[in-house]
Structure 1
Amino acid sequence: MDFDLPDEHRMIRDTVREFCEAEIEPIAQEIEEEHRFPDEIFDQLAELDMMGVPITEEYGGLGGDQLMYALVTEEIGRVSGSVGLSYAAHVSLATKPIELFGTPEQKERWLRPLAEGEYVGGWALTEPGSGSDASNMDTTAVKDGDEWVLDGTKQFITNASEAGSVLVKAVTDPDAGYDGISTFIVDPREDDGFEVTTIWDKMGLNASPTCEITLDDVRLPEDRLLGEEGEGWTQTMKTLDGGRISIAALSTGLAQGAYEHARRYSTEREQFGKRISEFDAVRDTVVDMYRKTERARLLTYRAARRYDEGQPVTKESALAKLDASEAAREVAEDAVQVLGGYGYTTDFAPQRFYRDAKLMEIGEGTSEIQHLVIGRELGL
């Protein structure tokens, strides 16, 4: 459904859909089984000018808005959760903050190659001991002359093993609480002391690398500080407002893909002399899958439009992310059930959607954290 989308948005969505069906869908299961990051797919997305959709054209982006970016993310998620996750992390977490908070020099040096798709980026917030309490971090950045020296460990960092730049959160003032956290631009290829120590095997999304990284006496020049010292947590909250919309869009795409497989199978598969979609139990299940997917899409698009209007979206993005992530998991589970034994095999996509969808309820704030955020916004 178009939801009164502008012509340009529909054109971009349709172009990306054609690309995803032609180039990503045929290899989606293969790259998952091989645990392979598909460089060629991201090169092709760069050729389509999709690696910096919501980034200004001045620095190599497409100049689109959050809604357009959500549409692109949804279409990628419709065929591959792994590609969608790496794409969303690259745009929302690694690229957008440099546009929002960087100097002109930082934008030219670091934003442009990300937006043009020269390489993917990463964003390092979570630590082994922090979990949902992301502000409780041990990674430090200490000033030494005209350099910053970073030490610490970051956990569950998407794209870190493939990234050309990673935005690292570190404590610069241990006594200042939230106001003592800052953001630094690290070059994994050039900065000594940056090491990817683990690439995790996961329940799903294995074509999107999830890494543990260590920073051991990583020395950075002063111009690698993003924004002002002590602004890191404020930047994080602003980043997550947009990032949660992208995860909602990715979740909607996963739900849409799972629904489409179940609907198609239910109208083709025959049992007891008729299509299984004619049985009340199957029909009602597929209808509920459709309902949940459409609801998730409406909440996601509403949040994206509010973001584009410059309105506060903390509540709306959390609500969209909460609803869409749960819808993705529920719809994917139902898709496996509709396909029965076939749904449990890797010859059919629903099992992959089911495994991929679970992370949507965890990443960028668990469902429990979304309830906390929404409750706070409601004054509860």
Structure 2
Amino acid sequence: MRKTLLAPLGLAAVIGLSPLAHAAAQPLDRIVAVVNQDAIMQSDLNRRLQEVREQLDSRGVTPPPMETLKREVLDRMILEDIQLQMAKRANVSVDDDQLSQSLRQVAKSNGFESVQAFQAALGKQGVSFDSVREQVRREMIISQVQRQKVAGRVSVSDREVEQYLDHLGAADKAQYHLAHILVSLPDNASEAQVAKARAQAEKLRARIKASGKSFEEMAGQLAQQNPSLSGGDLGWRPRNELPTIFADVVPAMSKGEISEPIRSASGFHLVELVDKKGGQQKLISQVKARHILISPNPNRSDAKARALAERIYNELNQGADFDALAKQYSDDKGTALNGGELGWSEPSEMVPAFAKALESLPQGQISEPVKSRFGYHVIEVEGRRQRDVTEQAQREQIRQKLFTRKVNEELESWQQEIRASAYVDNRLNDGGS
């Protein structure tokens, strides 16, 4: 009978669309429970009992004895009432747009293409759509309270994810062939020394990528030229045997990719994923792009914004510097100072018009102004790649699984706490049906 946090709305799973004949009206109503300043009436309990019995029937489940069912249902109603009272004190509410969206999900879960079709089916069974609507609203409010009070008490550490992976034996499913270069740092290095080593590592990365030579060949040459550099081939290793500083970086890399500088106590490492074997790959397409955004504003009409974007497009095609124009004109302040660079991203993360342009634009070509809700974009695609996110996706799935499990455990504890702290007078066994 217990409802778990983060589960779908209970209603979506329990409305079986079997005939919902409600319990006959009671000639005399009575209070079956007092919850703080609220009261639960016999008629309320009877209606809920009838709904639960019909739900169980629609699933082919034999209900428990009536007295047992009454106690369980009333306990559930008491707990719901306590949470609704908490929501009221915290001014938690659900607006009509949120409610409409949830009702569409409920309708779809019950096999209807629209809320209107769902409403018509309920009407044929004599079920008030307004009562269903309010039931969904109550469940949404309770879910919000649970998230506010419980989810914040739960966290999943990286170590817990690692332990779960080790328990599954997943660590042995993929192996990585690595090579690396270390730009070393002395003990107790100063901030200036750290900054110099980082800059050196970044320059080395750019030099290796531009050389056209293999990482291993360049690493050997550079180490001979500079005694502060060391490294070599690390060979094949399963994930759980990777150096700790590499463990979170390498699984997300693609074959042949060179990492950004990775800091350790010894200095800065550059790591190349030479090859990978084992495990099922999950690849996503990513695009490296930069853009210049020209937005309409109170002093610049849409037509003027477009005209400026077209002028910038023409200047770029005549050899103007993209970096300089982005810094001068772009209204995307988050990227303008970096020459409009967006880094590697999935097109699906962008607004539709921008994503469509990224998918069709050849690498190295400048787009004509692309209109989005932000304004006009002039875009250049700098690179494309397939990103292996197998390990990353697996870790995220495990993290979510552990989080949900811990939340449900914490929810049960929290519900016991609020039940114990509330004033509850259960009068179910004082007489009556």
Q: Is the shorter-chain TM-score for this pair beyond 0.5, marking a shared fold?
A: no
TM-score range, shorter chain: under 0.3
> Of Structure 1 and Structure 2, which has the larger fraction of its residues in helix?
1
TM-score, normalization by structure 2: 0.23
TM-score, normalization by structure 1: 0.25
